[in-house]
Amino acid sequence: MARTRQLLCALLAAIPVALLAPASASADPCPPATAFTPSYEFVEGGVKVPFVATHELTMVAQFSDRVDHVGLTVPDGVRVIGGSGGRLKLIVPVSASLAVTATWVQGDPDDPANPVCTGTATTALPITATRPSRAYYLRKAKGTDAYVAFAVVSDPQRGDVSPLEISLRVAASTRFPSPRAKERKMPVAMRPSEVVKYKKHIPKEEFATSPLRCRYYDLICSRNPRLSAWATALQYPGRTIRPRRLNGGALLSYVQPFRKIAPYGVVVDAVVGDPFRSPPKAALDLQVRQSGQLVGRARVAFHCGPERMPWGEIFNRCRAVRKKFG
């Protein structure tokens, strides 16, 4: 009696395992003539797009008939963000193609003419090459306008959206800063998955006073040379890029650079001088790089001194004595 009870308990325990076991565990491989051939489409922001390198895309596997237990695998070196079944969110590096392996179960267990089997297919998907980002120089320190600004814009259709890197060197000189001068660097993320939620809270840009902005946001707030520099996320430039429509939006933080992203590109600004107390000399070297390549660069050296205004007051004005863009 006891042994009968043990056998019955073992049988009842095995039933759920058998029910939960996937059909693919016991299905034979599909004959080549009957296996489906998967196709793939890519989605970004809810819109179908080409398969472009560096972009954060959702790959969707499609079949000509119903399938179950779909699985997708990609080679090492591809950043997989998430996904399940026939969908995979990923970022692929720049290359010629991507080998995607799909596995699935097809067939109808109630139809002898269409037996259940496991299909496997590896497809080489061509990758669309990215177009490099481009720099547009918006303000070039003309006359007494001691202001430098340029935008780095990603191509709207298939631009490179790898992280940008802003770097700045300054010097109290009328010569460009030396390559050996101290360099301040700031990365800029362009993809949604790169946003970081920092534990430490900093003041929002609209509530930050000048000292707080210097502390948390600006690349530099220097007294000698008298110079400030910062970066903002580029607002949507439209499908056709026109320099007069390139405007900065959200202020990016130097101390928390991944707090916000700049999906369309970045605008970097620098202003030299102070109307009341400007050192006589100032120079800057402002660069933006992406994927190891220099995209935009502004080098400007200024001389500052007192000038009498038409109404008689005297202010310090800074004029560019040496400049080079690109």
Question: 303 in a domain, yes or no?
Answer: yes
Q: Provide the whole-model pTM.
A: 0.84
Question: 30 in a domain, yes or no?
Answer: yes
Amino acid at 198: Y
CA distance 215 to 202: 10
- Same structural domain, 46 and 27: yes
Question: 10 in a domain, yes or no?
Answer: no
- Same structural domain, 27 and 152: no
- Same structural domain, 146 and 49: no
Q: What is the pLDDT of residue 25?
A: 46
- Same structural domain, 155 and 303: yes
CA distance 181 to 169: 6
Q: What is the pLDDT of residue 26?
A: 56
CA distance 222 to 140: 20
Tens place of pLDDT for every residue, the chain, 326 residues?
A: 445 455 444 444 443 433 333 444 457 899 988 899 999 999 998 999 999 999 999 999 999 999 999 999 999 999 999 998 899 999 999 999 999 999 999 999 889 888 999 999 999 999 999 999 999 999 999 988 999 999 999 998 899 999 999 999 999 999 999 999 999 999 999 999 999 999 999 999 888 898 999 999 999 998 877 899 999 999 999 888 999 899 999 999 999 999 999 999 999 999 998 877 777 899 999 999 999 999 999 999 999 998 888 888 888 889 999 999 99
CA distance 239 to 246: 12
Residue 149, domain extent: 134-325
Give the chain's domain count. Answer: 2
CA distance 138 to 218: 19
CA distance 276 to 292: 41
